[in-house]
Structure 1
Amino acid sequence: MSGRLLISSLPGELRAARLDDDGSLQDYLVQRHGSGSGEGDMAVGDVWVARVLRLQKNLGAFIVLGGSKPALLDWADCRSGLSEGAAVTVQVTRLAQAGKGAKVKAVDPPAPPQDAHALPLRLIRGDEPLSLLGATVEEVLCDDGDLLATLRRLLPADVTARLQGPRPPLFDTRLEEEIDGLLAREVPLPGGGRLLIEPVETLTAIDVDSGGKAAGPETNLAAAKEIARQVRLRALSGLIVVDFLAMGGRGQRDRLHATLKTAFADDPVETSIFPPLPSGLVEIARQRRRPALHEVVCRYAAWQPSPETQGYAALRQALAHPPAAALTLTLPPAVAAALEGPLAEARQAVEAKLGAPLRLCMAEPEAPQPSGTFPGEMLE
Structure 2
Amino acid sequence: MSLEILVNVAPGETRVAQVENASLQEVYLQRDSRRGVAGNIYMGRVQRVLPGMQAAFIEIGLARTAFLHASDIVRQHGEDTIEAPGIQQLLADGDNVLVQVVKEPIGSKGARLTTELSIPSRFLVLMPHNEQVAVSARIEDTDERERLIEVVTRLKTQMEMPGGFIVRTVGEGAEPHALAADMRFLARLWESINEQARTAQPATLVHGDLPLVTRMIRDLLSPAVERIRIDDAEAWQETVDFARRFVPEMVERIERYTGAAPIFDLFGVEDEIERALQSTVPLKSGGSLVIEQTEAMTTVDVNTAGFVGSRNLDETILRTNLEAAQTLARQLRLRNLGGLIIVDFIDMTLEADRQQVLRMLEKALAQDSARSTIYPISPLGLVEMTRKRTRDSLEHQLCETCPSCGGRGSVKTPETVCHEIFRDILRSARQFEAREILLLASPDVVAVLLDEQAEALAELSATIDRPIRLQAESLYQQANFDVVLM
Retained in 2: the 8 A contact 1:261–1:273? Answer: yes
Change (3 A) 1:166 1:365: farther
Query: C-alpha distance in 1, partners of 2:292/2:391?
Result: 18
Change (3 A) 1:90 1:276: farther
1:99 deviation in Å?
1.0
Aligned to 1:146: 234
Q: Give the secondary-structure state (helix, strand or coil) at the position aligned to 2:341.
A: strand
1:172 deviation in Å?
2.1
Determine which structure has more spread, i.e. the larger CA radius of gyration: 2
Query: C-alpha distance in 2, partners of 1:75/1:163?
Result: 47
1:145 deviation in Å?
0.3
Aligned to 1:13: 13
Which amino acid is the alignment partner of residue 114 of structure 2?
A: K
Query: C-alpha distance in 2, partners of 1:252/1:260?
Result: 13
* Two-structure CA RMSD over aligned residues (Å): 3.0
> 310, 335, 342: which one pairs with 1:234?
335
Unaligned runs of at least 5 residues, structure 1: 305-363, 367-380
Aligned to 2:22: 23
In terms of mean alpha carbon deviation, does 73-82 or 5-14 score higher? Answer: 73-82
1:260 deviation in Å?
1.3
> 265, 279, 284: which one pairs with 1:172?
265
Query: C-alpha distance in 2, partners of 1:179/1:25?
Result: 9
Retained in 1: the 8 A contact 2:6–2:18? Answer: yes
**Among the aligned pairs, what percent are the same residue?**
33
User: What pairs up with 1:121-200 in 2 under 5 angstroms?
Assistant: 121-123=205-207, 125=209, 130-131=216-217, 132-135=219-222, 136-155=224-243, 156-157=247-248, 158-159=250-251, 160-165=253-258, 167-172=260-265, 174-200=268-294
Query: C-alpha distance in 2, partners of 1:119/1:187?
Result: 43
Aligned to 2:137: none
Unaligned runs of at least 5 residues, structure 2: 74-86, 117-127, 130-189, 406-473, 477-486
Query: C-alpha distance in 2, partners of 1:180/1:253?
Result: 32
Change (3 A) 1:259 1:58: farther
Change (3 A) 1:6 1:118: same
Retained in 2: the 8 A contact 1:27–1:133? Answer: no
Q: What's the TM-score once normalised by structure 2's chain length? A: 0.56
Change (3 A) 1:281 1:210: same
Q: Give the secondary-structure state (helix, strand or coil) at the position aligned to 1:231.
A: helix
The question of 1:258 aligning with 2:372 is answered no
Query: C-alpha distance in 2, partners of 1:225/1:147?
Result: 34
> 280, 298, 308: which one pairs with 2:399?
298
Q: Give the secondary-structure state (helix, strand or coil) at the position aligned to 2:295.
A: coil
Q: Give the secondary-structure state (helix, strand or coil) at the position aligned to 1:211.
A: coil
Query: C-alpha distance in 2, partners of 1:153/1:62?
Result: 40
Query: C-alpha distance in 2, partners of 1:96/1:295?
Result: 12
> 37, 43, 47: which one pairs with 2:41?
47
Q: Could you report, residue by residue, the CA deviation over 1:197-240 in whole angstroms, capped at 9, with x for unpaired residues?
A: 11122322111122265542222121111000011111112222
Aligned to 2:199: 115
Q: What's the TM-score once normalised by structure 1's chain length? A: 0.71
User: What pairs up with 1:1-380 in 2 under 5 angstroms?
Assistant: 2-20=2-20, 22-35=21-34, 38=35, 41-43=36-38, 45-59=39-53, 60-77=55-72, 80-107=89-116, 111=194, 113-123=197-207, 125=209, 130-131=216-217, 132-135=219-222, 136-155=224-243, 156-157=247-248, 158-159=250-251, 160-165=253-258, 167-172=260-265, 174-211=268-305, 213=308, 215-300=316-401
Change (3 A) 1:95 1:273: farther
Aligned to 2:462: none
Change (3 A) 1:134 1:293: farther
Query: C-alpha distance in 1, partners of 2:324/2:273?
Result: 19
Retained in 2: the 8 A contact 1:221–1:256? Answer: yes
1:301 deviation in Å?
7.6
In terms of mean alpha carbon deviation, does 264-273 or 22-31 score higher? Answer: 22-31
Query: C-alpha distance in 2, partners of 1:26/1:106?
Result: 32
Retained in 2: the 8 A contact 1:31–1:296? Answer: no
Q: Give the secondary-structure state (helix, strand or coil) at the position aligned to 1:184.
A: coil
Which amino acid is the alignment partner of residue 183 of structure 1?
A: L
Which amino acid is the alignment partner of residue 63 of structure 1?
A: I
1:171 deviation in Å?
2.1
1:33 deviation in Å?
2.4
Retained in 1: the 8 A contact 2:16–2:27? Answer: yes
Which amino acid is the alignment partner of residue 172 of structure 1?
A: D
* Structure possessing the higher relative contact order (Cα contacts under 8 Å, 6 or more residues apart): 1
Query: C-alpha distance in 2, partners of 1:140/1:365?
Result: 46
